[in-house]
Structure 1
Amino acid sequence: MKRLVYFAVIIPLLLTSCHSKSAQEKVASVQNTNAKEEKDSIYTKPADSKTILSRKEVPVLCYHQIRNNLASDSKRAHDDIIAPDKFKEHIKMLADSGYHTIQPDDLYNYLVYGAKLPTKPIMITFDDTDLDQFTTGASTLKKYGFKGVYFIMTVSIGKKGRIGYMSAEQIKQLSDEGNTIASHTYDHKNFAQFRDEDWITQVDEPTKKLEKITGKKVEYFAFPYGVYKASTLHKLKEHGFKAAFILSTKRDDQFPLYTIRRIIDPGRYTARNLYYSINKSFNKPKQ
C-alpha cells in the first residue's frame, strides 16, 4: 500500500518536471533561433550609403610601373614609377607592420554587410597590365603571403615594346593563384568622357574578354586617371559591377561603393613615408 502511494505521488512530479524541462528547452530553442536570425540579418541586409560612408576606410594602395626611371620619363610619370628594390622594401614594411591583404569581395562584404576583416587590412592594386606587375609585383607579394588586385586594360594584353605587358596566360595564372582580375577599360579612355557606345567598347567587351581568360566573373572596376562622372556612376551597377575605385579624391555621397579611394605609392617615398601616408589618408577622424 505504501508503495502505491509513493508511485502515485512521484509519477505526477516526474511528469511535471519533464514537461517543465521540455518547455524550457523550447523557449531556449526559440531564443537561440531569434538571436541567430537577428545576427544573420546584420550580414544580409545591405547598408545604405550613409552607413557605408560611416565605416572606417580600409587602406588601398595603387601601383603602375615597377621599374627604374629612364631619362625619357616625364617628371609627371615619376609618381607612377617605383624602382623594384623600393617596391620590395615597401611590401616588406607592410608585412613587418602586421598588415593583411584583402580582396575586393572582402571589402565589399565589409562595407555592405558589416562583415569582419582581419586586423590591419590593406588592399594592394595594380593598374594598366604592365608586365613588371607580374614578374616583380606578384612574386614579391607571394613571398609574404599577400594577394593583389590587377586592373587590366585589355588593349595592352600581350603587347611588347618599350614597356611590356602581361599575356593572357599570365593573367590567368594570377587569377588561379587567388588574385583578383578586374577591369580598367579597353584603352584607358577617360570615364567622364564616355559616350553611349563606350559602354560597349570600354566596359562590356573588356569584361567579356577578361571573363573568358579567367573563367570567373569580373565585378570590379578602376577609373582611368581616377576620374569619374557622378551622373553616370549608377550605370556601373547596371553593367554588372559591384564596386569601383578612384584615386585620392573625395568619395561620392550617393555612390560610395563606386568611388572607393586609393592612394598611389610614388617612387620618391621611403617605406617610412608610405607608412605615414597610409595613416594620414585612411585613419582620419570622422567629421
Structure 2
Amino acid sequence: MKRLIVIWCCCLSLTTTAQQLPVLCYHNITTAGQHKNDLLHIDRDQFDRQLKTLSDSGYHTILPDEMVALMAQHKPFPPRACIITFDDSHDVHYSVAAPLLQHYHFKGVFFVMTVTLNKPHYLSVANVKALSDEGHVVASHTWDHPFPAGYKDWNKELVTPRQQLEKITGRPVWYFAYPFGAYNDSIIMHVKQAGYKAAFQLNRLPVAGKELYTLRRLMVDGRWSGAQLLHEMALYGTQ
C-alpha cells in the first residue's frame, strides 16, 4: 500500500510539474476589412468559433492565481480547465476579445506593455482599468517589449510597468510574460527580484526547478479550426 501511495504522489507531482494545463496565447485580432489568420493574427469570427468550440466541449477558464496555487500544492488541475492570454496590448483585446470572452463566460489574462498605453490602436488606461474591473487579470509584458539583450534598465522594464499597472487597476500585478517568449537565467532572476510570482514563456516545456518562471503557453494559430485547436491542446498535455 505504501509503495502505491508513493507512486501515485510522484505521478501527481510530475503531472503538475509538466504543466499540462493548456495556456492559450493570442496576439492581434482582425476585424471587418482586415481578415487575416496566421500565428500572430486571428479574424474576429474565427476567434469566436474557437471560443465556441471550447465552450461546447466543456472547457472553462481559471486564472493564474489558481494555477500557481495548485502547482505549489502539487495538486492536479481541474478537468477541462484552460487559461486564455493576450499579448501586446492591442485595443481589440478590449473592444473585441473581452465581449466574446464574456459571452462564453470566460476570463482572460492580458499582458500589457506600458509604452503603448493610450497610443492609437493600443489599449488605453481606461481599457486596462475596465478589463481588471470586469474580472480579467492585467499582467506585465515589460515597458517596450525588448529582445533578451535589450534589457538595459531592469527597473524600467520590470518594476515601473508593474507599479504603473497596479496604480491603474488598484490591484496587485503578480504575473509577467517574456517578450517573444524569450528568457535566460539573468532575466528570470530579475523577474523574481521585481516581485512577480510567476512568468510565462511560449511553447517550450517548463524548466525543471524553475517551473513557475518558465510556464509554457500554446501560441494559437488563427488558421486552426475549433477542432484543430482541441487537437493541439490534447497534444500539449502529453508533451
TM-score normalized by the length of structure 1: 0.74
* SS across alignment from 1:149: strand
1:54 equivalent to 2:11? Answer no
Match of 2:148 in 1: 191
Q: Which runs of 5+ in 1 are unaligned?
A: 1-49
Distance 1:53 1:229, change over 3 A: farther
1:220-259 paired onto structure 2 within 5 Å: 220-259=175-214
**RMSD between aligned residues:** 2.2
Which residue of structure 1 lines up, in the alignment, with residue 4 of structure 2?
A: none
Give the structure 1 partner of residue 115 of structure 2: 155
CA distance in 1, matches of 2:157, 2:21: 28
Residue 280 of structure 1: CA displacement? 0.7
- Cross-structure match for 1:63: 26
Distance in 2 between the 1:52 and 1:230 partners? 24
Map of 1:268-283 to 2, 5 A cutoff? 268-283=223-238
Residues paired across the two proteins, number: 227
* Shift of residue 52, structure 1, vs aligned partner: 7.9
Q: Aligned with 1:79: secondary structure?
A: coil
Distance in 1, matches of 2:15 and 2:57, equals: 27
Deviates more, 1:241-250 or 1:275-284: 275-284
How many Å separate the matches in 2 of 1:206 and 1:147?
22
Q: Match for 1:178: what amino acid?
A: G
Q: What is the letter of the counterpart of residue 81 of structure 1? A: H
2:143 pairs with 1:180: no
- CA-CA distance at 1:51 after TM superposition: 5.7
Determine if contact 2:21/2:77 at 8 Å carries over to the other structure. Answer: no
Tell me how far apart the structure 2 counterparts of residues 270 and 52 of structure 1 sit (CA, whole Å). 28
Say if 2:112 and 2:142, in contact at 8 Å, map to a contact too: yes
Give the AA of the match of 2:80: K
2:128 corresponds, among 153, 160, 171, to 171
Matched, 1:88 2:48: yes
User: Which of structure 1's runs of 4+ aligned residues deviate more than 6 A?
Assistant: none
Output the CA distance in 2 between the equivalents of 1:57 and 1:95.
Answer: 19
The reply on whether 1:114 has 2:74 as its aligned counterpart is yes
Q: Whole-Å Cα distance in 1 between the matches of residues 18 and 209 of structure 2?
A: 15
Alpha-carbon separation, structure 2, partners of 1:95 and 1:265: 16
Inter-partner Cα distance in structure 1 for 2:127 and 2:151 = 29
Report the CA distance between 1:230 and its aligned residue: 2.5
Q: C-alpha distance in 2, partners of 1:278/1:52?
A: 15
Q: What's the counterpart of residue 209 of structure 1? A: 164
Q: Which has the larger radius of gyration?
A: 1
Report the structure, 1 or 2, having the larger helix content.
1
Q: Deviations over 1:79-99 (max 9, x none)?
A: 100000000000000001111
| Structure with bigger RCO (C-alpha 8 Å, 6+ apart) | 2
User: What are structure 2's unaligned runs of at least 5 residues?
Assistant: 1-12
| CA-to-aligned-CA distance 1:138-185 (integer Å, 9 cap, x gap) | 10010111100000010111111xxx1111111111101111000000
* Alignment check: 8 A CA contact 1:230 1:252 kept: no
TM-score w.r.t. the length of structure 2 is: 0.88
Q: Give, in whole Å, the separation in 1 of the partners of 2:82 and 2:102.
A: 15
Structure 2 Cα separation of the partners of residues 52 and 273 of structure 1:
23
CA contact (8 A) 2:18 2:206 kept: no
Counterpart Cα distance in 2 of 1:57 and 1:217: 26
Q: 2:77, 2:124 → 1: CA distance?
A: 32
Aligned amino acid, residue 169 of structure 1: A
1:231-278 Cα shifts (integer Å, max 9, x gaps): 441222211000000000232223111000001111111111111011
